[in-house]
């Protein structure tokens, strides 16, 4: 499973975040390793330089084998919070998708 990161120009510490988030995703999604070819993570700050509540966005897109891409989005007060919320969402959605596939 390949993990790719994309950030907007308002996100600082891209390399540090990428290493940390990659290791977290690899750990969280290890059971889907042979079922997902690629994960794309998009991090952004909706308000740019302005402050705001839940203005950090994390969108995670998974490319499962033999299925359409699956994407989830989460918002938080920090990039880390948005990432962990999106990570939980993608884990649940992938579990449901693969469970449905086994039933067929």
Per-residue model confidence (pLDDT) at position 60: 97
Beta-carbon contacts of residue 56 (< 8 Å; ≥ 6 apart) = 43, 44, 45, 46, 75, 76, 77, 78, 79, 81, 82
Secondary structure element (H or E) that encloses residue 23, with its range: helix 14-28
**Phi, psi (deg, nearest 5) at residue 17:** -60, -45
Q: What are the extents of the domains in the chain?
A: 2-103
Per-residue model confidence (pLDDT) at position 31: 92
**Phi, psi (deg, nearest 5) at residue 49:** -75, -20
Per-residue model confidence (pLDDT) at position 13: 66
pLDDT, mean of each 10-residue run, the chain (104 residues): 87 80 93 93 81 84 92 94 96 91 68
Q: Residue 83's closest CA among 52, 48, 64, 56?
A: 56
Token pair of 44 as six digits: 């952004």
Tell me, which fold does domain 2-103 have in CATH? Double Stranded RNA Binding Domain (3.30.160)
User: What is d(CA 70, CA 50) in angstroms, rounded to the nearest whole number?
Assistant: 31
């Amino acid at each position: 499973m390949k993990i790719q990161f994309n950030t907007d120009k308002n996100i600082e510490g891209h390399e540090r975040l990428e290493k940390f988030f990659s290791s977290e995703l690899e750990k969280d999604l290890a059971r889907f390793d042979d079922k997902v070819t690629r994960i794309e993570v998009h991090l952004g700050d909706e308000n740019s330089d302005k402050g705001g509540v839940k203005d950090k966005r994390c969108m995670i897109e998974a490319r499962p084998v033999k299925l359409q891409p699956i994407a989830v989005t989460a918002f938080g007060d920090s990039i880390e919070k948005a990432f962990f919320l999106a990570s939980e969402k993608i884990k649940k959605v992938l579990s449901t998708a693969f469970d449905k596939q086994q039933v067929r």
